[in-house]
Structure 1
Amino acid sequence: MRSYLRLELVRGFRNPVGLVMLTVFPLGLYLLWTKVLDVVPQGQVGDFAAYTMVSMATYGAMGGALFVGGAIALERSKGWLGQLAVTPLPAHGYVTAKLLGGATGVLPGILVMLAAGALLSGVRLPFGTWPALVVLIWVGVLPFAALGIAFGYTMKGQSANLAMMAVYFGLSVLGGLWLPVPAMPEGMRTLAEYSPAYQAGSLGWRALEGRPPTLTSLAVLAAWTLLFCALAVWRYRRAV
């Protein structure tokens, strides 16, 4: 399993097109909202820039983790799964390697977004908050790497990418990464609070205020991660 995990970690950084796309688009949205459009609340320029920085870093990392499913769908079309089936690598080992490989590949995008907040928008935070944000955002997107694996072994080709795109944008909006949850209708707010995207974003939002993650956030994210991992293992075994 260690050798396969090492392979997945290396492959995650050998896709420059994916790394650029999932970094440039969130960065563009961040600059649009903080530098171009007049949407900053009166007297809250710094707070808005920091909040949006975390939101867009989480948004980009979600996409990077989720779209590991597209690579899996491509592997299936090339017969890679058949080759893995004759190796001693267990299903849970494969899913774990894919999960960690997909999640590790999002780190460059997180770092770029935080750097943009500090250098382009003047976001100023206590020194220890910056590395904490990297870790918290990374942990928050683990469920999406597991969901991407499940998608990759449920659908094939372009249909997998289209389905993941729909889920990606839907969860991002519901999770308050594009529109703050307090601005949503009441029923939508209740639903949003149990979504993995909202809980992932809340890890970073609370860190901006110097507060630790809540037990609710950790429990919800852990539950979604376990659920998606179980689904991914089941789909992998069905596909073999």
Structure 2
Amino acid sequence: MKNFWFQTKMNATRLIKRDVKTFFFALFFPLFFYILYTRIFVFDMPEDALVIWQTDYMISMILFGSLFTSVITQANTLLEDYTNHFQLFVHLTPTSKWRYFLSVNAVYIPINLALIVALGTLAYFVNDVSLSVIQWLVLVCIILFGTVPFSMLGVIVSYGRKTTIINLLGNLLVFPLAIGGGLWWPLEIMPSWVVSIGERLVTNQLLTLSTNWVYSSEIRFSSIAGIMLWILGLVTVIIVLQKLFKYRESEVT
């Protein structure tokens, strides 16, 4: 455990200094969209419905920011480590590849926490959205739990091995997951076939888990089960990709 935290500290130092601008935009865009869709482009609705919308969209933008950071930013980080042969260094040390992935993922936890604090503060001062301390504590745990499959998607995308491919794959994942999962607009206003797909996406499972807790103080275990299924499936994909790329690299050498 001591070695893991030392590696995480080392990764934090080199990654955050390297990607300050990226982290800034990862925080800026969710804040911008929250203001845009809760204060500027607002449909006429009853006061009670407006309060629910402002709370829902705060949660949605927190999840969107976490998704964007975990997939696109993390995938580019892993790509840079690959092209700079840092992953080769990891391979030649006793550190396992999985511990390396976990260490990189741990670096992004403070970024996601900063996003939660920033959006929660903005929602409070701009729209008077207020949650209790217990609600916030459990919600933070739910969101951090949700970053696990998001980070795994980032690992998978990083196997594109080229910046253009990674950015293309990242966008093809992030925006359909965000829109189809109901993070930008409610699924209820979308076609039925989109709803049937969207309800099974990990983003919607996490959104449902979060909103169900905020409004009813209940943990929806069916959503947890759905997220766990996504995690198991993504772990399988990562293992297959590792074996495939290891086999290809051995053939080249």
Q: TM-score, normalised by structure 2?
A: 0.86
Distance 1:45 1:35 in 2: 11
- The equivalent of 2:116 in structure 1 is 110
The 1:101/1:173 distance shift into structure 2, 3 A limit, reads same
Q: What does residue 6 of structure 1 align with?
A: 9
Instruction: Give the ranges of 4+ consecutive aligned residues of structure 1 lying more than 6 Å apart after TM superposition.
Output: none
Deviation at 1:6, TM superposition (A): 3.3
Match of 2:80 among 74, 79, 101: 74
1:57 to 40, 59, 62: 62
Unpaired segments ≥5 residues, structure 2:
247-253
Q: Contact (CA 8 Å) 2:71, 2:170: kept in 1 or not? A: yes
Aligned-pair CA distance for 1:12: 5.5
Please report how far the alpha carbon of residue 104 of structure 1 lies from its aligned counterpart in structure 2 after TM superposition: 4.5
> Hey, what does 2:30 align to over in structure 1?
26
Change (3 A) 1:225 1:57: same
Return the alpha-carbon distance in structure 2 between the equivalents of residues 167 and 72 of structure 1.
17
- Aligned identity (percent) is 20
Q: CA deviation at 1:119?
A: 1.5
Aligned residues: 240
Alpha-carbon RMSD? 2.0
> Could you say which structure has the higher helix fraction?
2
TM-score where L is the length of structure 1: 0.91
Which residue of 2 is the match for residue 86 of structure 1? 92
CA deviation digits over 1:163-200, x for unaligned, max 9?
Answer: 10221011000000011112222221111111011011
* 2:163 maps to 1:157: yes
| Partner of residue 141, structure 1 | 147
Matched residue of 1:209: which SS? helix
Decide which moves more: 110-119 or 3-12.
3-12
Q: Which has the higher contact order (CA 8 A, sep 6+)?
A: 1
2:234 to 224, 228, 239: 228
Aligned residue among 177, 181, 184 for 2:183:
177
Contact kept? 2:181, 2:199, Cα under 8 Å: yes
| Contact 1:49–1:117 (8 Å) recurs in 2 | yes
Unaligned runs of 5+ in 1: none
Higher deviation after alignment, 91-100 or 26-35: 91-100
- Which residue in 1 is equivalent to 2:39? 35
Distance 1:62 1:11, change over 3 A: farther
